Structure 1
Amino acid sequence: MNKRFLCFLVFKLVFLSVGFSQESAKEVLRAKILNYPTPPDTGLVNLLNSISTEYMLVKPDSMIYFATESIQIARKVKYPLGEARAIGNMAKAYYVKGSYDLSLKHAISAKSASEKINDKLGLAYALNSIGLIHLTQNKNEEAIQDFLKALKLATEINSVKIQASVYINLGLAYTEYNRPDVALKYLGIGLEHCKKHSLNSYSAMLLNRMAETYYSLKKYERALEHYRLVLSKPEYKNSWEYSLAYSGIARIQFERGLLAEAIDNAEKALLYARQVNAKYDISRALKILYAAHQKQNDYINAFKYLELEKLYSDSLFNEAKEKEINRLHLQLKQSENLQLQKLNEQNREQLKFIRKVTIVIAALALFLLIKTILIFRFSRQKSKLNHDLKIKSQAVEEQNQLILKQNVQLETLNQTKDQLFSIIGHDLRAPFGSILKAMEMMREGGLSEAELKFFLDGFYEKLRETSDMLDNLVTWASSQQLGINARPVSLDLSRQADEILSIYDILLKEKNIELKHFPSPDTNVFADPDHVRIIIQNLIANAIKFTPQDGEISIFYTADADRIAIHIKDSGIGIPAEKISKLFNLAGKEISTYGTKNEKGIGIGLLLVKRFADENAALISIESKEGEGSEFKVSFGRRGPVG
C-alpha cells in the first residue's frame, strides 16, 4: 500500500469523532470563556478542553495552548478527569503536528491518568492514539492490539463514534499487515455499525476504504460498486470522500481506456479536493488528468496538469520526509530511554556494591580498633584506593566532556545535512522533473512550433532558477561545513555595486524594470570584497525577483561618522510581517515564496547575506509593506569592525 496515502488517511481519521469545527462554534466557546465567572472551577476546565478540541485540525498550536491552561487549572481545582482529557488533547495535537515522540509521551500519560480514575472513554481515546503512533512506526501487531483494546472499551461504554473510528483504523492496520481479508472484515462490520447509528461521514469513509482495498486486489467491479455507493447517497456527501470516490472511478476508467470518462471524473475529484485543500487527493486527480490527456496526445493540457501535479507531489513528498524524520526521532528517543534504563540498572548494581563495601569497611574498622597495627595499614590502603578512584573519576569525566563536545559537533553537521537534503529534495526535484517530462514529450514528436517555443522558454526559466539556486546552496553548504574567514580590506562600496549591476541586464530587460544607481563619492568601507559582492548580488537578485513588470529598483547610499550604508529599494510585492523575523534564520518551505514571474525562492540567499554581514560586522535592517515594496539597508564600518 502507498505509505504516503496511509499517513495521509490516518491524518484524516485519527480523531474523526471530533470532526471539523465551525467558526461559529469557536466564537461561542470564546465568548463563554470571556464571560466566565471567577474563580476557576471544573466547568472552566471542561470549557477549555472543548475549545482545545475545536482547534485540533486547523490550529494544533492553539489546541496545545488551551490544553496546557486546562491542565494547570485542573490541578489547581483537583479535577483529575479534566486533567486526563486535557493530556489526551495534547497527544492528539502533537500527532497532528507530526511530533510523534511528544504525542506518544502524552498519550501514555493520558492512559495512565485515565486508568487511575477508571475513565474508560479517556482510556479508549488514549489507546486509539497510541495505536496510530505505532502505525507510523510500522509496528502493525502492536497497533492492532491497541485498537482491539480501544474497541472493547468503546463497546462497553457504547461510544458509537469511537467504535467507528477504531473499525477504520483496524482496516488500515490489517491492510498494512498484508491481510486484506481481515481488513475487509472489520471495514464491513464498521459499515453496518455506522448505518445502524446513522454515522454518514464514517459510512462514506468506510465505503471508500473498502473500495481502495478491492482495487489493490484487482477486483475492479467491486471497487466501482463501493465508490458509486458513496456518490449515490445524498447523506454521504462530503467533499473529501467525494473526491476520493471520483478519482478512484477515474483511475479504473483510465486503466480500461475510457479516457473521456476518466477525465470527466478526475475533474470532479479535483473540484471537490480543492474545496477542502486535500493535497493528496488533488495530486491523485492531477496525475490521472495528466496521464489521460497525454494518452489523447493533448500535450498542452498534459503539461499543464503535470506542472500542477509536481507542485503538490513535491509538497507531499516534503511533508512525508518530515513525518519520517519525526518517526526516526521517536525511535531515537525510545532507544535513549532504553539506554537510560540500562544505566539506571547499572547504577543500582553499583549502589549495592557500595553498600557491601561500606559494610566490609565498617567491619574492618571495628576489627582495626582491636588491632592498632592493622588500623594504620588498612587506613593507608583506603587512602590509596580513594586516590586511585578520584583519578579514574577525573579521567572518566574528561572523556565524557570530550564525547559530549563531539556529539554537539556531530549533531550540528547532521542538522546541516538534513536541511540541505530537505531543500534539494523539495526545490531541485521540481524543475528537473518538469524538464525531463517535457523532453520526453519533445522526443515523441508531434509538437507545433508554438508548443516547441513554449517548452524552450520554460527550459530557460527553469535552468536559470536552478543555476542561481545551486550557486547559493554550494556557498551556503561550504560556509556551514568549513566556516567563514573574512579578509577585510578598504574598498569602494559604490564601485563594487556598479561592477555587479551589469550581471542583471538581461533579467532587468525581461521584466522591463528600471534600475537607478546613485553613486556617492565617499563610500570607502572596511570589509571582505568577496563577502560584499555576495551580499549585494543576493539583495539585487531578490529585488528583481519580487518586483513586477515595469517596476523600479533604486540603489543609494547614506553615511554617518562611523558607517556607510547601501540601500536597495524596490517597488515589489513586499514581505508579510510574519515572515520578516524569519528571513535571516530559516530556509526551505517555511519561507519559500514565488517571485512575480513564478521564480522560485527558498531563502538561502538571505541566509548568506546575514552570515557574511555578521562576519564583516555589518548591520542589516528591513522596511517592507505588502503591495508597496521593500527596502534593505546594509551598513559597513568605515575603519575596520565597529560594534
Structure 2
Amino acid sequence: MMMIVGLLLAHACGDMHTPAPSYAADTLRIRELNTSAMAKLYADPDSMLILSSAALALSDSLSYERGRFQSLFNTGLAYRALGKYQQSVDQLALAQEVARTWRDTLLQTRVLSVSAQVYVDLGDHENALERATHGLLLAQQARLRSQEAYLLSIVGMIYGLREKDHDKALDYYGKSLSIYQDLGDSTMMPFVLDNMAHVYLYKGDIGLAEENYTKAYHLAQDLKQPKAILTALQSLSHFYTRTDQLDKALGHLLQARDMLQHMPGDRTQYLFMLYQLTDLYQSKGDADLALSYGREAMEIAEREQRLWHMIRIAGKLAEVYEIKKDYRNAYLLSEKARISQDSLYKKDKEDNIVRIEERYKYQKEQDQVKAEHQLQLQRKQSYLYMFILISIALLLILLVVMWFLRQRNVLNSKLHEANECIEKQNDKLMEEAQFKTHLISLITHDVRAPISNLNMIINVLNHGNSSGNWTEKSLKGCRQELDKVKYFMEDFLRWAVFQSEGARIHKSYFDLGDVIRSVVSLYDPQAHEKDITITEFVDEDVEVYGIKEAIATVVRNLVGNAIKFTEAGGTVVVKAAKQYDATEPTIIISVEDSGIGMSEDVQHSLFAPASQTDRSGRRGLGLFLCNYFLSLHDSTLHVSSRLGIGTVFSFSLIQPSDESIAQEDRYADEEN
C-alpha cells in the first residue's frame, strides 16, 4: 500500500513541477542574447546594452538567476564602454550580489576586477583599490591562481596612477608576473609588462620604460596575440611621443593602423588610432595629413553614428583648421561637435524610452504565457489534491494501527521490566536480610569470646583466689582481650563508614615498612608468650599510595590469625618484597606461618561473607573485612595452605605513577 501511495505522490508532484514548454526555449534565448551582447562589447556597445537589457528583462520574468547574473554583468560592461560609469557600477553591484548569494568565488572575483577598473575610470581610486584588494583576498583564499595574478595586476595599475605609490605598483606587477610564469600562462604577461613600462615612464626611468615596452611588444609577437600587439604598438607610440621621438612614434602608430585595417569587427580601436594619428601629425606640424586622418575618422564616426567619437574628432579637426586659419571650417566643426553632444543626450533619452517600451511588450507577452501555464497547473492540481487526500487517509489509518501496536508492545515491555525489577529487588532484600542476620552472629561471636575471657578473669580476681603473679598475668591478658575488642570495633566501624553512601575515601602516600614494623611490634609480646618467633623482611623504598589504616587492619588480622593458629615453637614471617617483572612496580605482602594449616574445603569457603569460617571451621569476620579493604586498592587476598605444614596469606599493592593517581582522583570527584 505504501509503495502505491509513494508512486502516486511522485507522479502527481512530477506533473505539477513540469515547466511550461516555453521555459527551455526562453532560457536558450537568454543565453543567445548574452552571447550576442558580448560579441559587440568593443564594436557596438549601444547594441550590446540593448541585447543585454533584453536578456535581463527575460531572466527577471523567468526568475532565471544564471541568465540574470550574465545579463547584469554584460550590462555593466556595456555602460562602461559607453562611458556611463555610474550605471556600470550599479549593474555590477547587482551582479556581485547574485554571485555572493551563490557563494561562487570565481564569479565574485570577475565582477570585482571589472568594478575596480570602472572606479578607476571614475577617478575614485579608493573604491577601486577596495574592490581590487577584496577580489584578491577571495582569489587567494580559494587558490584561484590565475584570478589572483590578474587582480594583482589591477592593484598594481591602481597604485601606478598615484605618484607616491609607484614602488608598490611595481611590486604588485612583479608578483603578478611571477604567478603567470609559475602557471606557464603568458597570455596576460604582455599587458602586465606594458603597465610596468607606464610606471617606469612616470617615474622618469626612461631606460627601464623602453625595455619593458619592447619586452611586451616582442612577447605579444611571439604569442601571436593581435590585441596585445596593438596595445604594445600604441604604448610604444605614446612612449616615443613623450620622449620627443615623433618619427618612431608615428612608425609604430602606422603599423598599428595597418593591423587594424585587416582586422574584422571592432571599429572603436581603429577610431582611436585615427584620432591619435591626427593628433600626432598636428604635433609634427603636418596639418594636411592631420586633416586627412581626421576626416577619415569623422566619416566612420558619422556613418556608424558614434556620437561620442564625433564630438572628440570634430573638436580635434576644428583645432587643425584653426592652425590652417580656415576659421569657417573650424567654426562648422565646432558647431558639429556641439550638435553631436546634444544628439548624444537626446539619443540616450530615446534609447531609454525604447528600452522601457520593449520591456512593457515583453512583460505583456510573459503575462499571457504565465496565465496559460497557470490554467494547466490548476487542472493538474485538482488531480493532485485528490491523490493527496486519498494518500493522507491511508497513511492516517496505517499510522493509527502502527501506534496501537507500538503502544501495546511498549506496555508489555514495561510490564516485563517492572516484574523483573520487583523480582530482583525481592532477591536483593532476601540476600540483605540473610547477610544482616549472619553479620550479627559473626559480630556476636567475635565480641563474645573476649568478653567471656574478661568475665572469667574478673570473677577469679573477685574471689581473691589468685597469687600476685597470676594477677599480673591476668591483667595483662585483660589488656590483650580489650585490645582485640578495640581493634575489632575500629575495623568494623571503618568498614561501616566505607559502606555508607557518599563517603569519601582518602588515600595518601605511606611507608609500608612502618606499618609492618608497627604490627609486628604490637604482636611480638603475644608471640613471645606462645614461644613463637615472629620476624619481618621488608625491602627498601616500599612507599605505596592508599588507605594506611585499611592496610594496617589487613596486616594486623593476618598476623593475629597466624599467631593464633601456630603452635609453640613455630614461626611467623611477614614479608614486603618488590616485584620487578610487572608492568608497574608492585609490592607483594605475605604472612607465612608454620601453624596447623587448612583443608581445601575450608580454603574455598574462607572469604565468603555468608559462610565466613576460620581455619578451625569456626565463623569469623576478619578475613571478610580484609578482602573488602583490599578491594579498595584493586587487590585481593590469596591463600596457600597445607594441613599440618602451615599457611601463606598474600596480597599485592601497585606503586602507581603521579599521573595514574591524578586520574584516579578525577574519577573519584566525578563519582561524588
Output the TM-score relative to the length of structure 1.
0.36
Work out which of the two has the higher radius of gyration on C-alpha atoms and give 1 or 2: 2
Output the TM-score relative to the length of structure 2.
0.35
